[in-house]
Structure 1
Amino acid sequence: MTTLDFQKYHGLGNDFILLDNRHSHDPLVTPEQAEQICDRNFGIGGDGVIFLLPGQDGTDYTMRIFNSDGSEPEMCGNGIRCLAQFAAQLNGQEDATYRIHTLAGVMTPQRQADGRVKVDMGEPRLLAGQIPTTLKPESEKVVDVPLTVGDRTWNVTTVSMGNPHCVVFVDDVAAISLAEIGPQFEHHPQFPQRINTEFIEVTQGNYVKMRVWERGAGATLACGTGACASVVAGVLTGHCDRSTTVELPGGNLEIEWSNQGSVYMTGPATFVFSGTLRL
């Protein structure tokens, strides 16, 4: 029997099991084992398992993540904040900045004095071929484009923050039946690699409410890359400011799409407990 020490963290209720994988470039558990570990009845419970691996190409560390269904996303915004807190705790550092290699590119989280983590998420990718989606030709943006899902037509804007997002602005986000409509967006044939879907209610120009259906994880309390994508979509469609607070079921994130192009996300990452896995 193999034993592994772990720590559990959450970013606004989006919860993860963190494993110290710095001694190997290969994840310590398989996707199938990650699915079992994330089971909320028969495992630890979580939205994913995150691995802190050795850095690549001059970065400090590499991040990989297996979702609760065993799939592997390009990266995770709430997860990378948790990873930064985890790395700082392992290194005994109060304030730290790391360059993290992910499947979506290099991200730079900075642990701040107030305990929150600010992440340079890089520039959004807006062309249809970068999402990917077949809603428009590969070289065109998908902004406020009609898409029929279920029994109605929605206006959608697609954004990649290294992983794919479909942003939908609605009048009342609480009225959306995520469990019903979320899977239909995720598996829509216009999104060949599936899609994360954010439903956004604009309260005012610098404040929005968001609910999310995540690809591979379902309804979650927060999605960091989704919050970033939603503000980018809000700017593109004239719904919100470049600096906007995004209210999620688990709490708030501060998102800024700078004039220089990068998107910055600031929010908490909270230690929950530690333990030992027996596999």
Structure 2
Amino acid sequence: MRLRFTKMQGAGNDFVVLDGTRTPLALTPAQLQRLGDRRFGVGADQILAVERSTTPGVDFRYRIFNGASGDEVEHCGNGARCFVRYVHEHGLTDKTRVRVETVNNLLELQLQPDGRVTVDMNRPVFDHDRIPFDASGLAPRRLPDEISGFELWPLEGVDGVELAVLSMGNPHAVLRVADVDAAAVADLGPRIETHARFARHVNVGFLQVLSRGEVRLRVHERDAGETLACGTGACAAVVAGIRLGWLDRRVELHARGGDLLIEWPALEASVLMTGPAQTVFEGEIEL
């Protein structure tokens, strides 16, 4: 079969975007892996599928597949920004604000006049069962200036690590480092990702705080390794930094692939992420 695709990127996080609004997509994990393969396919961190929604008041269904494994995943914030640029550029909507449903969430996306996209990433989740994270038997550390009892957690077998644990629709563990350039991402990332405490594995963020309004971040993503940017990882890192008393409510975040603005107005509010989204090229591939 010949398949048309669009290659896009948001802050260096790259995607293959497929239009399933006219003809249903029924790709196997092996075909999705082929699309994501950087030597034998197109190459992408994630494969994004645009589908029509059957839910009243919702414009599209937004499906996300890991480019390395072909598995469907819960959320991708950088992909959501590319999603809204895609549906505009391909004439699927003329709305500047669209609502999309994912496998476990409902997102609101807004195209800004300057071409950037703001994504309402919904509220962060701190309940360990919903992340999921098994904290039984662990002794957390609470900082004197944390908000509402947020904690840093150790992990057996990973010495010297203290993690802030939360979900942005997918699981995240965040650890603060003095310098992201020197951080042991390649070593610690896989060890934390696959630790038995995380039943569905976990994305791992390495956060360097420059000031109360500016940070740097590297993220080791589940099943993908380090990527140039991770939207949900950016939101998780800033939320953790706010709750631990390190950051203000509006933060400029520098990832290796570009910059994002993350805002979390209040404890019970949604997280807002604003950043770039760009079409790289379009093509056809034989699967």
**Normalised TM-score (structure 2):** 0.91
- 1:32 CA displacement: 1.4
Candidates 244, 256, 260, aligned match of 2:251 = 244
Write out per-residue CA displacement over residues 106-157 of structure 1, whole angstroms, 9 at most, x where no aligned residue: 00111111000001111111111111000259xx98621222454x221111
Task: Give the Cα separation in 1 of the matches to 2:151 and 2:180.
Answer: 20
Change beyond 3 A, Cα 1:175–1:148: farther
C-alpha RMSD of matched pairs (Å):
1.8
Task: Give the Cα separation in 2 of the matches to 1:45 and 1:166.
Answer: 26
Structure 1 residue aligned with 2:265: 258
8 A contact 1:95–1:113 mirrored in 2: no
Superposed counterparts of 1:112-131, under 5 Å: 112-131=112-131
- 1:94 CA displacement: 6.7
Structure 1 residue aligned with 2:18: 19
Structure 2 residue aligned with 1:214: 221
- 1:23 CA displacement: 2.9
Change beyond 3 A, Cα 1:72–1:237: same
Query: 2:72 aligns to what SS in structure 1?
Result: coil
Task: Give the Cα separation in 1 of the matches to 2:149 and 2:73.
Answer: 22
Query: 2:198 aligns to what SS in structure 1?
Result: coil
Change beyond 3 A, Cα 1:136–1:55: farther
Structure 1 residue aligned with 2:82: 82
Task: Give the Cα separation in 2 of the matches to 1:23 and 1:148.
Answer: 50
Structure 1 residue aligned with 2:233: 226
Query: 2:210 aligns to what SS in structure 1?
Result: strand
Task: Give the Cα separation in 2 of the matches to 1:202 and 1:78.
Answer: 21
8 A contact 1:149–1:185 mirrored in 2: no
Using the TM superposition, name which of 84-93 and 156-165 deviates more: 84-93
Structure 1 residue aligned with 2:28: 30
8 A contact 2:150–2:243 mirrored in 1: no
Query: 2:272 aligns to what SS in structure 1?
Result: strand
Indicate whether 1:197 and 2:204 are aligned. Answer: yes
8 A contact 2:216–2:254 mirrored in 1: yes
Query: 1:235 aligns to what SS in structure 2?
Result: helix
What amino acid is aligned across from residue 18 of structure 1 in structure 2?
A: V
Q: How many residues align?
A: 274
Candidates 190, 194, 206, aligned match of 1:183 = 190
8 A contact 2:201–2:222 mirrored in 1: yes
What amino acid is aligned across from residue 29 of structure 1 in structure 2?
A: L
Using the TM superposition, name which of 65-74 and 158-167 deviates more: 65-74
Structure 1 residue aligned with 2:181: 174
What amino acid is aligned across from residue 226 of structure 1 in structure 2?
A: G
- 1:85 CA displacement: 0.6
8 A contact 2:99–2:109 mirrored in 1: yes
Structure 2 residue aligned with 1:270: 278
Using the TM superposition, name which of 168-177 and 232-241 deviates more: 168-177
8 A contact 1:246–1:255 mirrored in 2: yes
Which residues of structure 1 form unaligned runs of 5+?
none
Query: 2:73 aligns to what SS in structure 1?
Result: coil
**Normalised TM-score (structure 1):** 0.93
Change beyond 3 A, Cα 1:56–1:164: farther
Write out per-residue CA displacement over residues 205-244 of structure 1, whole angstroms, 9 at most, x where no aligned residue: 0101100000121110000001001111001111111111
- 1:5 CA displacement: 1.1
Which residues of structure 2 form unaligned runs of 5+?
138-147
Task: Give the Cα separation in 1 of the matches to 2:210 and 2:60.
Answer: 38
8 A contact 2:108–2:119 mirrored in 1: yes
Query: 2:135 aligns to what SS in structure 1?
Result: coil
Structure 2 residue aligned with 1:72: 72
Write out per-residue CA displacement over residues 17-44 of structure 1, whole angstroms, 9 at most, x where no aligned residue: 00000135x5342221111111111111
The sequence identity of aligned pairs, in percent, is 40
Query: 1:185 aligns to what SS in structure 2?
Result: helix
Task: Give the Cα separation in 1 of the matches to 2:54 and 2:216.
Answer: 37
Structure 1 residue aligned with 2:50: 52
Change beyond 3 A, Cα 1:228–1:192: same
Task: Give the Cα separation in 2 of the matches to 1:246 and 1:73.
Answer: 24
Query: 1:50 aligns to what SS in structure 2?
Result: strand
